[in-house]
Structure 1
C-alpha cells in the first residue's frame, strides 16, 4: 500500500473513532421529564407554582351501545370507579367519574358519539393537584390499552413585578426551555406564544410549523399569572 492510500485509510479510521466518541444516543424525553422540566424552569424564573394537570387521552371506535357499556364496565374495574355519572344527548353518551384525595384529584371521562365514524369514542383521564408527584398518575397504566396522548400543564403566579413588557419574561422562559418561538399573540396585559423544542419527540403542526409547548402570561390587578403546557395549554387562562 502506498503512502497516500495509507494516509487516506488512517484519516477514515480517525474520523470514525471521533464520531463514535462524540456520539450519544438520543433517548426520547418522557412526559414526566417534560412536566418536571417545566416546573423547574418556572421556579427558576420566580414563579410560585400553584397547580399542575396531567391529561391522558385515548381514542377508540365503538359501533353500538352494548360495546360502550362493556367499555364502561371494564374501566370501572380498572380505575376503581365507584359510580358513573352518565349524560345522554341526541349525539351520544358521556360518562364521568371524579374522585378527590388530600393532595390531588382525578377525573375519568368517556364519550361516545353514535355516528359510526373512525375514532368516535374518547377516554380522557385527568389528574391535577398543587404539588406534583409522579405517583399520582400511576393509575393511568391500568386504564389505557394503548399509549395515550399526554397533555401536561403548569400554572403559577410570578413572585416579582415584571419589569418591562411581558414578552421579556416569556423570552426568558423560552430560553430556559430550549424552545424556539413559532407563533405569538400579544396584547397590553396578555401574551401567548407557541414554540418548539426540538429535543422533545412529539409535536403538533400549525401553519406547516411544529409546536410542542405553549406559554401564556396575563397581568391583572398587579398580579402576574403564567401558564405553560405541552404540547398545548389545555386549561383556561
Structure 2
C-alpha cells in the first residue's frame, strides 16, 4: 500500500511538472522496456500507455459537449458515458479490441474559478497496434504528456535482495538511480536515462524511469514505467 501511495503521488507530480523535449514515439520506449524485462528473465503480462493534455477550449456545458461531439466526428470515440458531480463533468468512452482496450476520458471542472479541462487517452493490452498512434494524433491538438508501463512476472520468486534485480534492469536501460524505496517484499527505484529526453524534475534532479519489484507467495512481479509508473502495483 505504501508503494502504491508513493506512485500515486508521483503521478500527480508528473502531470504538474512533466516536460517534453524531442519526445520519442512511445512505441519505441515500450519495445525497449519489453526487451529489457524479457532479457532479465521475466514474461510480459500487460503493457499500458497513457497520454494526457490540458485544453482551454471549454468554459461551460455547451462547449464541453461540443468537444465530445468533435471527438465523435473524428471517429475516435462513441457512446459517451457522461457523469456529473458538484466539481464538474466527466465523459468516458471505452472500446475493446482483440489485443488491447482503450479508454478516452474528458473532464471539465472549475479550480479556483478557473476552468480546467483534460483529455486522457489510455490503452492497455498485450500487442501493440499502430492504429493507437494514429488515433492519438486525431485526439490531441498538441504534444501530450505520455506515460508508458510494462508489467511482467518472473517464473520463480526471486530469492535475495530485490534491489539487485532492479539495478540490473536499470543498467540495461542505461539509467542512473536517483532515489529508492525499499521494504521486505518490494522495492521501487526512480532513475534517469539520457536515452529518453522526456523528464521530470524531482528534488532538482531529472528522472524519467521507474522500476518496481514485489515478492508474493510464489512469484516476483516487476513493473517498469517512463517517466514514472502510472498503473497500480
Q: Shorter chain as normaliser: what TM range?
A: 0.7 to 0.9
Inter-CA distance 29–137: structure 2 relative to 1 (3 Å threshold): closer
8 Å CA contact 2:54–2:118 kept in 1: the answer is yes
Q: Alpha-carbon deviation of 1:139?
A: 1.2
- Quick one: distance in 2 between partners of 1:52 and 1:161? 21
Is 1:117 the counterpart of 2:108? The answer is no
- Quick one: distance in 2 between partners of 1:215 and 1:190? 11
8 Å CA contact 1:104–1:136 kept in 2: the answer is no
Inter-CA distance 28–104: structure 2 relative to 1 (3 Å threshold): closer
Is 1:92 the counterpart of 2:88? The answer is yes
The equivalent residue for 1:38 is 33
- Quick one: distance in 2 between partners of 1:217 and 1:82? 37
Residue from 124, 142, 146 that aligns with 1:146: 142
The two structures have a TM-score, normalised by structure 1, of 0.84
Listed one character per residue, the Cα deviations across residues 138-196 of structure 1 (whole Å, up to 9, x for unaligned) are: 31111111111110000010124424210110010000000000010000110001100
The equivalent residue for 2:122 is 126
8 Å CA contact 1:153–1:235 kept in 2: the answer is yes
The equivalent residue for 1:58 is 53
The equivalent residue for 1:5 is none
Q: Spell out the pairing of 1:194-209 with structure 2 (5 A cutoff).
A: 194-209=190-205
Is 1:101 the counterpart of 2:97? The answer is yes
Is 1:168 the counterpart of 2:164? The answer is yes
**133-142 or 193-202: which moved more?**
133-142
- Quick one: distance in 2 between partners of 1:223 and 1:95? 38
Listed one character per residue, the Cα deviations across residues 216-236 of structure 1 (whole Å, up to 9, x for unaligned) are: 000001210000000010000
8 Å CA contact 1:167–1:191 kept in 2: the answer is yes
Inter-CA distance 29–83: structure 2 relative to 1 (3 Å threshold): closer
The equivalent residue for 1:67 is 63
- Point out which structure has higher relative CO (alpha carbons under 8 A, 6+ apart): 2
- Quick one: distance in 2 between partners of 1:177 and 1:80? 34
Unaligned runs of 5+ in 2: 1-21
- Quick one: distance in 2 between partners of 1:73 and 1:133? 25
Aligned-residue CA RMSD in angstroms? 1.6
- Quick one: distance in 1 between partners of 2:75 and 2:208? 29
- Quick one: distance in 2 between partners of 1:105 and 1:125? 11
